[in-house]
Amino acid sequence: MHKIKNNRKKHFPLIIYTIIFILLVIPVGGSVLAEGNPPDAPAEEPTVEPTQEPIAEPTAVVEGQVSRGDPIDRYVAKSGTDSGDCSSISSPCLTVGYAIGQSSGGDTIHIGAGTYLENLLIDKELTLIGVSMEQTFLDGNNSGRVVFIYYPYKVMFVDLTIQNGNATSGAQNGGGICSGGELQLERVRVRWNISSDGGGGIMSDGNTTITDSAIYENETTNPGGGIWVYLSSGESAQFTRVAIHDNQATASSSYGGGLNITEGSSTITNVTISGNSASQGAAINNSGDANTTLINVTIANNTTSESTAIINYATMNFKNTSLLTTLHPTALMEEPLIQRVITWTAAAAAVSPR
């Protein structure tokens, strides 16, 4: 007992000193470790590089504005004024040309009833929509081509008429429309246009789609009194429920009075080609490496002075197609000096190829 008591006395000062050290070094409620660091953790998180570029925050759009790139509907009416950006239906602009200048690619221009005497240049992707073929008229006033479309822009016309274009100053194509890009027509009339060097109504140098439309009473020297479609390899033209009539190519050696097709792949479905005239191929001239298919097509009453209603220098496929009353002894001619293919699957055809 005495020995144990002596040992306690011997270590008592050491215990006192230890308690005093702890009270001085460690604040009340504190920790031996640096604040906020778990045991054995580094003082800072390691930096990790992102695996992709950070995504920028979207730019705020001020109320009443449209962010760049969003398509806008613009409006034109005979009661309008050429001011502002034409984006209010209650404050339309007066001219289509002004609205085109205010537009960006992808916009739609709505054109009210009336006749607009304009010669339009289009250098962006647009859709132009009228009220109907009988109410909205883009009129070249016989002072120039009605519409010129720059490459490579896609332009669509809906529910209107294109008329009275004149592209005869020098060698010009496409009195009504000359398109270097992609052309689409839906419920459109193209009439009373003239050009000096092909495509009296339309010259389309690219993909072409024409639906529920009429191309008539247009004129050129040569070729393609109604329309000339000049396609590159891989490009195509689609004609569906279209009337191509009473167009003319007037030169002494003209061809393709109604329709002239060069290169590419074309499909003509439920179309009537009638009353057209040219010295050769009064209805259709098919040339280059063109591969053209006619389905449920009526070709009638076309006038040619030298050859036939159709001249084929390339490939043509006929299905349920009728050749009727061409004002020349031969309805269809194949050029004997150039390799070409014709297939005829129309059991009810009035005239078969020879």
Per-residue pLDDT reduced to its tens digit, 119-166: 999 999 999 999 999 999 999 999 999 999 999 999 999 999 999 999
CB atoms within 10 A of CB 37: 12
Cβ atoms 199, 224 nearer than 8 A: yes
Is the pLDDT at 346 greater than 50? The verdict is no
Confidence of residue 116 (pLDDT cuts 50, 70, 90): very high
Mean residue pLDDT of the chain comes to 80
> b/e for 164-180, b at 16 or more Cβ within 10 A?
bbbbbeeebbbbbbbbb
pLDDT tens-digit map of 217-246: 999 999 999 999 999 999 999 999 999 999
**Residue 18, pLDDT score:** 44
**Residue 39, pLDDT score:** 36
Least confident of 60-69, 109-118, 200-209, 241-250: 60-69
